[in-house]
A and B are shown apart, each in its own frame.
Chain A
């Protein structure tokens, strides 16, 4: 019987369509995604002093540091938003972006042992990383909520608006950007490993050219164009825009940023799809 005359469940070929994502298979492996998330959450704080409390300690300490450095020393304005809220929001949104990007960038190299021994839809791993970071973000938002509420009740009623309902959209958009960039980096790091080390360094530099601990409006007009070229700027501004009803948000900057994030995600997925099939020969 001829090869093509038969009904195969799986066909392994040398060439693959770069856009072939077997969504059905990923859904079939949803239990695995759940277990990966559970593993990563559980492992992170096993045999530690404070355990999952770290999810809360991190943003609190960073906020306090920002208050001291940027508010009291550098004296940078916060567009009339209570500084505590401003830094807290900046910290959690940037932490989500940065951690997600870093972890996605490590997806291939960190899992090479498993990938080299068993087949399962590889996309389950980046998806589970995304879910894990999302859960951490939600925990931090839950902590943020009472502080936010307290400021609204005590003298800042105007910061809340109907736009808050857009928060999930902003989070999803941040996720798309970070996953896209992360997957692109991960495809490069399997060849050039020094990039993994360089990444955390560049990310910390990147934070300072992104309006995280200062608003875009504080940047002088001459330089603002460079900040607007940074697609992450609009994300951070939008995050504050929905939370505090302030920020420099224009249709142009938003559509530019959304466009970038979609390009990054597409490129990231295509690269990942291509690399997952042969990277084990390279690494």
Chain B
């Protein structure tokens, strides 16, 4: 049996909301006195705690063991508690209950370039940032050339960092982090910076660090490709609890399927408006059943929107906006894009189905935001603000041609016709 590197027992993190810590001294004193004097507060409704401290458990009942050399990806929706968990493990904040044992040194990269000072030169910042991350001076002296080389900043290394472009800044910051030596590496969305080329390099370096030296890695990211490339095992967090511990592939599958293929039920009543109630919003396949994800590029899939129309308007239209993982809008599509008489919705229940053709989008993760508007008059559901969202994950099935089996660059991956003639 391999040695345990990290063991968490019954970790919980509670955040207080409301009454105390309002930030005003006299209200704090008042609620403190109220708490001391009265056992129960008559103004509270049944089921509320009598302490007046409304709050929530950002993490609850977290138990896990990570073996030495494991590379664990932590995935979950925003607010699932991923970052809080990393903060607790890296000792930035204390858990409310439970305990964690760690063997070996920890380097935690919740951000690159922490402590960089704009007035100081690149070289000075390497030393400062390295020391903050726990490196000794001698260690940095030994690695400084390597760090500078990796950052590709060579001749500007003695220029104040404030004169750097944002790309240079990120490269330097990552270069320091990439040369950290520790038994355990904790990283949170570190790769979500810089351009695509840099991200690729950073990911490669992370991979190299974690595999070649047998170190333990904990990694949080929203980019499933990065998580898959880097991690062997995974944990899925949901509302502060671990819902699954398994291989990374299984975790990603569960996460994508569970959370984003459809939106229905009470959560959607939030979007009800004067014109319609949103009953259901999901991705389906050609047979009308829920889309299995990831889906192949060659498959058609469909966005299914079910609404109960309460009021009609001649300018009403509904559709969706599709963004890629860089948040770039790929396109908008609306029911009224094609001119046809019978396309208008009727009062009562309507099921609208929009096709996303096969051989169209490249491999990757896409977000589909519902959009409804009175054309040129007003937004009803604005896809750029608050809108229900579906995730579409496309992988494989690019072409039958042996010349095209792996992902290519580009946002689209269409198969277009070619002819060969001699004229």
**Residue positions of A touching B, CB distance < 8 A:** 1, 3, 6-14, 16, 29, 31-32, 34-36, 39, 42-43, 46-47, 113-120, 191-192, 277-278, 280-282
**What A residues does B60 contact at CB under 8 A?**
none
**What B residues does A6 contact at CB under 8 A?**
4, 7, 101, 103
Docked Cα-Cα span, A192 to B27, in Å, equals 12
Q: Assess the B132–A32 pair: CB atoms within 8 A.
A: yes
A43-B117, A281-B15 known; A117-B111 Cβ under 8 A:
yes
Q: Assess the B7–A43 pair: CB atoms within 8 A.
A: no
A31-B136, A117-B114 known; A12-B93 Cβ under 8 A:
no
Q: Assess the B108–A119 pair: CB atoms within 8 A.
A: yes
Q: Is B88 an interface residue (CB 8 A)?
A: yes
Q: Is B115 an interface residue (CB 8 A)?
A: yes
Q: Assess the B92–A280 pair: CB atoms within 8 A.
A: yes
Q: Assess the B97–A14 pair: CB atoms within 8 A.
A: yes
Q: In the complex, which range does the number of interface residues on chain B fall in?
A: 35 or more
Residue of A29, A35, A192, A281 near B23 (CB, 8 A) is A192
**What A residues does B114 contact at CB under 8 A?**
113-114, 117-118
CB distance from B88 to the nearest CB of A (A): 7
Residue of A3, A16, A119, A120 near B9 (CB, 8 A) is A3
Docked Cα-Cα span, A128 to B184, in Å, equals 28
Question: What per-residue 1/0 map shows which CB atoms of B80-103 lie under 8 Å from chain A?
Answer: 000000011111111111111111
Q: Assess the A9–B104 pair: CB atoms within 8 A.
A: yes
- By Cβ-Cβ distance, the 8 closest A-B pairs, closest first, are A8-B101, A119-B91, A32-B131, A277-B94, A12-B100, A10-B102, A31-B137, A117-B114
What are 14 A-B contacts with C-beta separation under 8 Å?
A: A6-B101, A8-B102, A9-B104, A12-B91, A12-B94, A12-B95, A31-B136, A35-B128, A39-B124, A46-B119, A114-B132, A118-B114, A191-B23, A192-B25
Q: Is B251 an interface residue (CB 8 A)?
A: no
Residue of B92, B99, B101, B120 near A119 (CB, 8 A) is B92
Q: Is B192 an interface residue (CB 8 A)?
A: no
Closest chain B residue, CB of each to CB of A8: B101
A43-B119, A191-B21 known; A8-B131 Cβ under 8 A:
no
Q: Is B392 an interface residue (CB 8 A)?
A: no
Q: Is B213 an interface residue (CB 8 A)?
A: no
Docked Cα-Cα span, A35 to B89, in Å, equals 26
Docked Cα-Cα span, A191 to B24, in Å, equals 8
**What A residues does B25 contact at CB under 8 A?**
191-192
**What B residues does A281 contact at CB under 8 A?**
15, 93
Q: Assess the A31–B99 pair: CB atoms within 8 A.
A: no
**What B residues does A43 contact at CB under 8 A?**
117, 119-120
A6-B4, A120-B132, A281-B15 known; A11-B100 Cβ under 8 A:
yes
Told that A6-B103, A42-B119 touch, could you supply 17 new A-B pairs with CB distance under 8 A? Answer: A8-B103, A10-B106, A11-B101, A11-B102, A12-B94, A16-B94, A34-B137, A35-B128, A39-B120, A42-B124, A117-B92, A117-B111, A117-B114, A118-B92, A119-B92, A192-B25, A280-B92
Count of A-B contacts judged by CB separation below 8 Å: 110
**What B residues does A32 contact at CB under 8 A?**
131-132
**What B residues does A9 contact at CB under 8 A?**
102-105
Closest chain A residue, CB of each to CB of B135: A31
Docked Cα-Cα span, A155 to B98, in Å, equals 71
Q: Is B110 an interface residue (CB 8 A)?
A: yes
Q: Assess the B4–A10 pair: CB atoms within 8 A.
A: no
Q: Assess the B127–A3 pair: CB atoms within 8 A.
A: no
Q: Is B134 an interface residue (CB 8 A)?
A: yes
**What B residues does A34 contact at CB under 8 A?**
137
Closest chain A residue, CB of each to CB of B96: A14
**What B residues does A116 contact at CB under 8 A?**
92
Docked Cα-Cα span, A116 to B104, in Å, equals 22
Q: Assess the A12–B136 pair: CB atoms within 8 A.
A: no
Question: What per-residue 1/0 map shows which CB atoms of B229-240 lie under 8 Å from chain A?
Answer: 000000000000
Q: Is B133 an interface residue (CB 8 A)?
A: yes
Closest chain B residue, CB of each to CB of A281: B93
**What A residues does B108 contact at CB under 8 A?**
118-119
Closest chain A residue, CB of each to CB of B103: A9
**What B residues does A115 contact at CB under 8 A?**
92
Q: Assess the A35–B93 pair: CB atoms within 8 A.
A: no
Q: Assess the B120–A12 pair: CB atoms within 8 A.
A: no
Q: Assess the A278–B93 pair: CB atoms within 8 A.
A: yes
Closest chain B residue, CB of each to CB of A279: B93
Closest chain A residue, CB of each to CB of B28: A191
Closest chain A residue, CB of each to CB of B8: A12
Docked Cα-Cα span, A1 to B7, in Å, equals 10
Residue of B94, B101, B106, B120 near A14 (CB, 8 A) is B94
Residue of B110, B127, B134 near A35 (CB, 8 A) is B127
Q: Assess the B131–A31 pair: CB atoms within 8 A.
A: yes
Most buried by B among A9, A39, A117: A117
Docked Cα-Cα span, A34 to B93, in Å, equals 25
**What B residues does A118 contact at CB under 8 A?**
90, 92, 108, 110, 114-115, 132-133
**What A residues does B98 contact at CB under 8 A?**
14
A16-B94, A118-B108, A278-B93 known; A3-B132 Cβ under 8 A:
no
Docked Cα-Cα span, A3 to B87, in Å, equals 21
Q: Assess the B127–A12 pair: CB atoms within 8 A.
A: no
CB distance from A239 to the nearest CB of B (A): 34
Docked Cα-Cα span, A34 to B21, in Å, equals 36
CB distance from A58 to the nearest CB of B (A): 21
Docked Cα-Cα span, A278 to B124, in Å, equals 30
Docked Cα-Cα span, A13 to B88, in Å, equals 10
**What A residues does B119 contact at CB under 8 A?**
42-43, 46-47
**What A residues does B128 contact at CB under 8 A?**
35-36, 39
Question: What per-residue 1/0 map shows which CB atoms of B344-356 lie under 8 Å from chain A?
Answer: 0000000000000
Which B115-161 residues have C-beta < 8 A from chain A? 115, 117, 119-120, 124, 127-128, 131-134, 136-137, 160
**What B residues does A42 contact at CB under 8 A?**
119-120, 124
**What B residues does A31 contact at CB under 8 A?**
131, 136-137
Q: Assess the A280–B93 pair: CB atoms within 8 A.
A: yes
**What A residues does B24 contact at CB under 8 A?**
192
